[in-house]
Amino acid sequence: MVLVGDNTEMSMKMPPLPMRPRITSDPDFTSQEINDEANRLMERIGQRLRWTLEACKTIAPMTLRINRLKQQKDVILIAHTYQTPDIVYGVADAVGDSYSLSKIARDAPQSTILFSSVRFMAETAKILSPGKRVIHPSPEAGCSLSEGITAADVIAMKEMHPGVPVACYINTTAAVKAECDVCVTSSNYLAIAEKLPGDQLIFVPDRLMGQHLKKHLAGKKTVFLHEGDCEVHAAFTASTIDRQRREAAKRGIDLRVLAHPECAEDVLNASDFVGSSEKILIEAKRASRDEGAAIMMITECGTAERAIAESDHPIELMGSCTMCRHMKRTHLEDILQSIEAPDADQIIEIEDSVITRARMSLDQMFAMSDC
Ligand code: 13P
Ligand code: SF4
């Protein structure tokens, strides 16, 4: 067992720090300002044995510079939970799952949105705020789900099942969203699918989330699926859950297993709770605080890093997390460069006609969501 923060015992293996050779001074900031910023980062990240004061000093000049530029250039910086803690706690104005971040991108008053995440999320922000400049620092940060389906695939499925409503997961390109009736996320796919008219449904592109949906709608709707999956969540296995349950039983601890719905059916069946990255975080905090349970998170490492930083009580994390190579492509250097002078491919551009049609599927999602 390793103590990583003031509050957190871990048998969980955490990802290495995203460190590159960095400078600890900057002529624009005094050493006192850099020291204060490093202390702020260390406190906020809450892993003082990994993210030490010395480590935080190497990123402080950059977070100070980015935060100053955000003010000067009227930028809101939105980061997905799976971004690294230096981004989440150093420079982000909003952090969350894809549903909450879509709403923030839609309603933000700033003239520029910088989206630290994968491409489809930045594209979604542009669809929701087409009049704003949307910057995506890592144009090459994709997603196995969004890259696993094209608009032509959706059109072919609609031709095979004419008149059947099409729900597409938000992990899709703008062109795919333009072919769908309603967009869904990991926090609302069950509720929205239930409300759609008729006894048939096309759901794309996540086959595993689709199987969970099929089970939920059994006897009510026939669901037609596409063959996509998330390379991170599809790799988790039920045997690792069994192993951790045996270990917890040996130690006499109550273990709660919280899984993302992009996981395989046997993994979800072996779990106690299924939800979006944000819902997993909320449940981890609740179950550890109210019931003293140890937590195993079956999702990307960013959710565990947030639990460590944001829990106000002792929380024990068990098992191991996996990093999404796409989510982890963005570094503070990319954010600084793209906020100072973005390259053409870091500015999201989408054809007006695609925006108009994709927007309808997102608006339909907001209209059908309870929150
Ligand atoms: P969430 O909406 O649950 O954050 O999911 C996004 C994602 O890409 C999960 O892999
Ligand atoms: Fe895509 Fe999976 Fe990475 Fe999420 S974790 S961005 S679904 S590849």
pLDDT of res. 11 = 57
Is residue 207 located within the same domain as residue 174?
yes
Q: What is the pTM of this model?
A: 0.95
Distance from C-alpha of 338 to C-alpha of 136, rounded to nearest angstrom: 8
Would you give the DSSP letter of residue 312?
Answer: S
Is residue 40 located within the same domain as residue 120?
yes
Q: Ligand 2 centroid to 303 CA: how many Å? A: 13
Give the chain's length: 371
Is residue 213 located within the same domain as residue 154?
yes
**Contact 98 CB / ligand 1 (< 6 Å):** yes
Residue 14, in any domain of the structure: no
Phi, psi of 221 (to 5 degrees): -145, 150
Q: Are strands 294-298 and 315-318 parallel, antiparallel or unpaired?
A: parallel
**Contact 277 CB / ligand 1 (< 6 Å):** yes
pLDDT of res. 53 = 95
**Contact 321 CB / ligand 2 (< 6 Å):** no
pLDDT of res. 370 = 75
Is residue 170 located within the same domain as residue 257?
no
Residue for token pair 């981890």 = 284
Query: CB neighbours of 282 closer than 8 A, spacing ≥ 6?
Result: none
Distance from C-alpha of 166 to C-alpha of 196, rounded to nearest angstrom: 9
Strand order in the sheet with 200-204: 182-184, 166-169, 200-204, 222-225
Region 325-336 average pLDDT: 97
Distance from C-alpha of 195 to C-alpha of 118, rounded to nearest angstrom: 29
Check if the beta carbon of residue 260 is closer than 8 Å to that of residue 298: yes
Q: Ligand 1 centroid to 84 CA: how many Å? A: 15
pLDDT of res. 3 = 42
DSSP readout, 111-173? SEEEEES-HHHHHHHHHHSTTSEEE-S-TT---TTGGG--HHHHHHHHHHSTT--EEEESSS-
Which structure tokens are listed for 283? 């449940």
Provide the 10 A C-beta neighbour count for residue 327: 24
- The pick from 88, 168, 185, 301 for probing ligand 1's pocket by mutation, whose C-beta has the most ligand atoms within 8 angstroms, reads 185
Is residue 38 located within the same domain as residue 132?
yes
Distance from C-alpha of 112 to C-alpha of 325, rounded to nearest angstrom: 26
The total number of structural domains that make up the chain:
3
Give the residue from 364, 337, 350, 363 showing the smallest Cα distance to 65.
Answer: 337
Is residue 92 located within the same domain as residue 78?
yes
Give the residue from 101, 106, 129 showing the smallest Cα distance to 116.
Answer: 101
In this predicted model, what pLDDT tens digit does every residue of 10-52 receive, in sequence order?
556 676 776 665 677 888 999 999 999 999 999 999 999 999 9
Domain that holds residue 332: 19-143+327-346
Among protein residues, the one whose CA lies closest to atom 1 of ligand 2: 143
Mean pLDDT estimate for the chain: 94
Residue 313, in any domain of the structure: yes
Residue 349 to residues 112, 129, 133, 225: CA-CA distances in angstroms? 13, 12, 9, 30
Check if the beta carbon of residue 180 is closer than 8 Å to that of residue 235: no
* CATH code for position 188: 3.40.50.10800
pLDDT of res. 299 = 97
Is residue 270 located within the same domain as residue 201?
no
Is residue 43 located within the same domain as residue 136?
yes
- Closest ligand 1 atom to Cα of 185: 2
Is residue 62 located within the same domain as residue 125?
yes
Residue 26, in any domain of the structure: yes
Residue 116: strand pairing partners: 79
Residue 250, in any domain of the structure: yes
Q: Write the single-letter amino acid at 122.
A: A
Is residue 125 located within the same domain as residue 58?
yes
